[in-house]
Structure 1
């Protein structure tokens, strides 16, 4: 048994293990499972919406699912068959024994599966994530609120004047030194990945202009601020927000995991890359080390039977037709879905409502599949799975994010930095591997998008191999919260 939220055992309202765990063990005792080969894992899923049920059952396979046969079990390696996962936060007031028994005996065919098994980064939940950012305006109109209101606290930590002033002052120190030696370029580049509605860019540019006037070096005249985002709608909002600085601003639609596709002309030229709440929104796999064996966590998105029947009835379809409608929605978007499936969604409002209802109910089945070898697993372009070894073999059983999308973005961004440049990122970082053993780190749902904590230890390990130093610190300009500031620059 693996009880991860240790802190919940104490305090004013401690978890009652008798009511939270005993019913699960009773259900297992009445099942025909070999208890010697069963893991029970208890998490505290803090997200109000996630892809988890109160109780999930995860097979632990002995082969890779391709029919290649079982992977040999080394001596001293524990070989489990099954993992039962319980969300302690929602377990109170639930008939836990009956629910666990139902999960153990459930017919998978009762669910409406939206995809086949595959690594987490390839799941259709990331297509939903992309749909959200591509059609953000429609979602906001349907919900009546902007996407930032879905964040904890209702806004991003990026919009902070004290933080902007600190960054600008650091830039001026570097530029003054280069100017004194005649090495300062004529063009001074700053890049922001994931601009949101442009508020952070506006704060930075306003403060930059004011401090440059006081500084008296004319850096604002030479400044080029590049706003980059996946969503054209978001960039349009951002451009309007920074209209006063338009002569110093350019905007780029780009894939955050491959920034140099659009920004390659800036290689070794950028003095500041600024990122806020982007990495936690990029696709990721999960891997696990259980009993001395390494696994990939495969997922399969589905709709539970009852919600699927309700959604199907609302769009005049059978439950078995939902996967096809969902694929059309993800491929075409809500506007074109109206033309492609008028019998099911007669107008745009119905298409958006279908999108939101499916997203609210979508869940992920999970299973553990053995990894044949870390050297055969690519974390990101040019990054071998061997980078995971020191983290996975750091102690007891462990399950953690690979942060493939964040790692790909990070590795592809570093070459843009000037030798005196710096990357600054505010996000949800796991900075100690042990934290994966004590807390649930996603995935969760923020409005219509996906959120996962980012494997900061892995990013730092990869960066050091490439000659960059990475530091983590609590966000300095707001107390409380979970945001951590990562900075990366060329090693001295």
Structure 2
């Protein structure tokens, strides 16, 4: 049996975690089972997101390698030093003291899926319906905010985004002007100065930037403001409409564009090599991602399927007067149609839009993810994006001990396409939840979690930097300079000198 206790920093915290309380009941339940204990992994995490997709104890099958193809002979050889596993038992240490852990573990081993309502089949994490929930949140944000009585930014730690920090905007504009002054002196500055913001939120960041830009331009006399073309881009038209109102006084300098953040070139291809600044804040952590793992010398993809736990499913079905077995179909209709059309399709169940939104919110709160490890035959056969092979993962996965990490498929594609927009003297600035060292994945849970109605995962910084280097860009990470104690990291990417 392999025991992997990841939140080791909490063993010496002000209120230290009791290791025995988190592990002994689990080991006791396993010892009473008929499982081969030599092929079991027990993994303990501290799930910091109070809303998440995990049970206190989850059982994750570790699937064997596929059989040989037709025409091959003999058994599949096991590489030297490979450690074979059948199951991973995952424990949330933060909640483990709130339940009868031994009994919960034993029940999970006996009847793991009893009464669950599955919303989808097995598949990679990036294809899960949780991302349809995520898209619904942004497309119907106005209805969600009305139901909760608060704006989405209030769900962020601190109640607002670091992007609106005025000192940070002033520093960024000053650096832009310094570069433009040099280009202007050489007669190489274009007539139009393009800045692109992906994920504009309610527009407050754009307003802070534009206010500082105009003020500093008036002081310096560079005449840059009248040449500025600021493009606000977001998935949600509701968000864009709010942002447009916020920056109305800069209307002549601003354009708004709805686009898929994972494919910016589809809408912005006309700006290839013309953009001096691509600015992104808290977007990459909200894009679809797979997870991959290196366990015992084998490489795996983490497959998932979303479900509603039995007790939550019974309560949700009773609240709208339907058999529990109909829930999966209604959830799929919600994700396909949205709450407004759902109440038109089934007025007997959802007499008002507000009733449909309440069903949406309760379903989202209840959704969990079942997981399993599926062997990857070869990294060259795994696609991170249409034009990106899994071979890029090899130096990270084979960097040492067992590792499970995010691939951030959507963010990688967005990042690669955004780099193609940059002028040779341009930069990409991103504030987000970045993992900056692979060792962080071995010590701390990095998602997925739930922020209000959306999904959040930390972003694999070493992987983003590796991709950038292959494309001729340097990447630098540093903690956000203008607020102490937060988790936000600033990534800067620019053409390698």
- TM-score, normalised by the number of residues in structure 1: 0.98
- Report deviation, 1:11: 2.4
- Residues 89-98 or 35-44, more deviating: 89-98
Contact 1:71 1:370 in 2 (8 A): no
Take 1:64 and 1:134, find their aligned partners in 2: how far apart are those partners?
Answer: 40
- Report deviation, 1:107: 4.9
1:51 and 2:50 matched: no
Alignment partner, residue 294 of structure 1: 299
Superposed CA deviations along residues 126-148 of structure 1, whole A, max 9, x for unmatched, are 00000000000000000000000
Alignment partner, residue 4 of structure 1: 6
- Residues 356-365 or 104-113, more deviating: 104-113
1:415 and 2:420 matched: yes
Superposed CA deviations along residues 185-224 of structure 1, whole A, max 9, x for unmatched, are 0000000000000000000000000000001011000000
Number of residue equivalences: 492
Alignment partner, residue 183 of structure 1: 188
- Residues 9-18 or 32-41, more deviating: 9-18
Take 1:345 and 1:66, find their aligned partners in 2: how far apart are those partners?
Answer: 52
Select which of 211, 218, 229 maps to 2:216: 211
1:367 and 2:372 matched: yes
Contact 1:193 1:278 in 2 (8 A): yes
Alignment partner, residue 405 of structure 2: 400
Alignment partner, residue 122 of structure 1: 127
1:446 and 2:448 matched: no
Take 1:290 and 1:29, find their aligned partners in 2: how far apart are those partners?
Answer: 23
Alignment partner, residue 30 of structure 1: 32
Contact 1:73 1:79 in 2 (8 A): no
1:230 and 2:258 matched: no
1:150 and 2:152 matched: no
Which consecutive aligned stretches of 4+ in structure 1 deviate over 2 angstroms post-superposition?
Answer: 63-73
- Report deviation, 1:464: 0.1
- Report deviation, 1:63: 3.7
Could you say if the C-alpha distance between residues 71 and 124 of structure 1 is closer, same or farther in structure 2, counting changes exceeding 3 Å? farther
> Residue 391 of structure 1 aligns to a residue in which SS?
helix
Contact 2:163 2:431 in 1 (8 A): yes
Select which of 373, 381, 404 maps to 1:376: 381
Contact 2:67 2:76 in 1 (8 A): no
- Report deviation, 1:66: 13
Could you say if the C-alpha distance between residues 56 and 66 of structure 1 is closer, same or farther in structure 2, counting changes exceeding 3 Å? farther
1:479 and 2:484 matched: yes
Select which of 331, 346, 353 maps to 1:348: 353
Alignment partner, residue 165 of structure 2: 160
Select which of 253, 269, 278 maps to 1:264: 269
Take 1:392 and 1:416, find their aligned partners in 2: how far apart are those partners?
Answer: 30
Superposed CA deviations along residues 294-336 of structure 1, whole A, max 9, x for unmatched, are 0000001000001100100111111110110011000000000
Contact 1:71 1:372 in 2 (8 A): no
Take 1:468 and 1:286, find their aligned partners in 2: how far apart are those partners?
Answer: 25
Take 1:240 and 1:424, find their aligned partners in 2: how far apart are those partners?
Answer: 24
CA RMSD of aligned residues (A): 1.4
The gaps in structure 2 that reach 5 residues or longer are: none
Contact 2:114 2:310 in 1 (8 A): no
The gaps in structure 1 that reach 5 residues or longer are: none
- Report deviation, 1:86: 0.4
Superposed CA deviations along residues 20-55 of structure 1, whole A, max 9, x for unmatched, are 110000000001110000000000000111001111
> Residue 482 of structure 1 aligns to a residue in which SS?
coil
Take 1:334 and 1:64, find their aligned partners in 2: how far apart are those partners?
Answer: 42
Contact 1:64 1:371 in 2 (8 A): no
Could you say if the C-alpha distance between residues 197 and 385 of structure 1 is closer, same or farther in structure 2, counting changes exceeding 3 Å? same
- Residues 190-199 or 89-98, more deviating: 89-98
1:275 and 2:275 matched: no
Alignment partner, residue 106 of structure 2: 101
- Report deviation, 1:64: 5.5
> Residue 158 of structure 1 aligns to a residue in which SS?
helix
Take 1:188 and 1:443, find their aligned partners in 2: how far apart are those partners?
Answer: 38
Alignment partner, residue 22 of structure 2: 20
Take 1:65 and 1:469, find their aligned partners in 2: how far apart are those partners?
Answer: 42
Contact 2:68 2:76 in 1 (8 A): no
1:336 and 2:338 matched: no
- Residues 226-235 or 9-18, more deviating: 9-18
1:424 and 2:393 matched: no
- Residues 59-68 or 427-436, more deviating: 59-68
